[in-house]
Homo-oligomer: A and B are copies of this chain.
Amino acid sequence: MAPKPADPTQTQARKPLLAVLDGELREPPPMWMMRQAGRYLPEYRQLRQDKGSFLDLVYDTEAAAEVTLQPLKRFPQLDAAILFSDILIVPFAIGQNLTFVTGEGPRLTPPLIAGGLDDLTPYLARLEPVHETARKVKAALEPSKTLIGFAGSPWTVATYMVAGEGSRDQAEARRLAYSDPGKFSELITRIESVTLDFLSAQVDAGIEALQLFDSWAGNLSPAQFERWVIAPTARLVAALRERHPGVPVIGFPKGAGGKLAAYARETGVSAIGLDETVDPLWAAQELPAGLPIQGNLDPLALVAGGEALEGAVERILDALAGRPHIFNLGHGILPDTPIAHVEQLIALVKGAK
């Protein structure tokens, strides 16, 4: 598809993020930041202190809606809110117990390395509060802003479900995928099915665009990447498109590197998110013409600020100038990011012609 010029009769009416996801060129590009609702914001830290654990906050729909809206209140030029939730809500609903251990990250018990899906009792109601949060955010959101929902991709969710925690190189899941592809395939299919209903219900609750986070797509061999990343994502995207034809799906296969072009071609995603290691100039050449690209500032350049940030932003804007482009980070914003640097970033992106 070729990029569409902005339709002057529609330009004002249409939400900038949705316009770009539909293939329009916008300058300046719409922008949001992965993990924009989070620990770098003093107002978030305050609320966390009052409300308890991360999971308590996710399940307090009033508070979760407030957290979702916090970055837009502070930075009114951001173009989207992303639901405050976590990709591990899906395994929680599939029946693993979920806790977040401070300083150590999430724990899912029992890990599937030790048992099977049959040992788990599904508890799908654990997904519902997320939809309630979506409804609350939507009701409060300015009309020009887009509400983004999300889930983890089946592969990435499976890596946590198998190991029971985050792991350095996803060795447990990768091993299981080789040693028992039948069992692994059942797991992927189960995640796929719950994720489809979860995302579909998000759309019913007012979500306008979806992102699939595949944070651990990077460590797979090409054949395993085809089987466990591309194929399940393609099925999920096709099913979502059938249920909700107008709702775009952004794929974010972190670490996919040279396999990004195959991912873009074969999954059918509406747009592709680049992590910060990808050269946007390379992506502009290698990815299908007209496909919207999201990304990809190094979160450490944002921590650094100043000239390092200026240079990094400029390179991205220049490289993607001819493309439908959503400005974002290449990875979640870091907790020690100074607010002033976020302000500098927004000025750089939104001030640009």
User: Interface residues, chain A, CB within 8 Å of chain B?
Assistant: 168, 171, 174-175, 178-179, 218-225, 255-260, 262, 276-283, 286, 298, 300-301, 303-304, 308, 311-312, 315, 330
A278/B330 in contact, CB under 8 A = no
With contacts A178-B308, A223-B311, A223-B315 taken as known, whether A279 is within 8 angstroms of B301 at the C-beta atoms is no
Asked whether, in the complex, the Cβ of B258 is within 8 Å of the Cβ of A283, the reply is: yes
If the complex has contacts A279-B262, A282-B259, are A298 and B224 also in contact, measured as CB distance less than 8 A? yes
Given B218, B276, B303, B312, which contacts A255 in the complex, CB threshold below 8 Å?
B218
- A278 near B257: Cβ-Cβ < 8 Å: yes
The complex places the Cα of A312 from the Cα of B220 at a distance, in Å, of 12
Q: Can you name the residue of chain B whose Cβ is closest to the Cβ of A220?
A: B277
Residue of B nearest to A280 (CB): B222
Residues of B within 8 A of A281 (CB): 222
Q: Check A221–B258 contact: CB distance below 8 A.
A: no
Q: Which residues of B contact A222 (CB under 8 A)?
A: 277-282, 315
A261 to chain B, nearest CB (A): 8
- Identify the closest chain B residue to A168 (Cβ): B168
CB distance from A189 to the nearest CB of B (A): 20
Q: For the complex, what is the distance from the CA of A344 to the CA of B258, rounded to whole Å?
A: 29
Q: A277 and B225 in contact (CB under 8 A), knowing A255-B218, A258-B283?
A: yes
- Assess the A277–B330 pair: CB atoms within 8 A: no
Contact indicator B303/A175 (Cβ below 8 Å): yes
The 4 closest A-B pairs by CB, nearest first: A257-B257, A222-B279, A178-B304, A221-B298
Given A178-B300, A256-B257, A282-B258, the answer on whether A312 and B277 have CB atoms closer than 8 Å is: no
Bound CA–CA A280/B221 (angstroms): 10
CA A277 – CA B298 in complex, angstroms? 22
Q: Which residues does chain B contribute within 8 Å of A304, judged by CB atoms?
A: 178-179
Residues of B within 8 A of A311 (CB): 223
B-chain residues with CB within 8 Å of residue A282 when the two chains form the complex:
222, 258-259, 262
User: Considering residues A220, A222, A276, A304, which has the most beta carbons from chain B within 10 angstroms of its beta carbon?
Assistant: A222
Residues of B within 8 A of A223 (CB): 311-312, 315
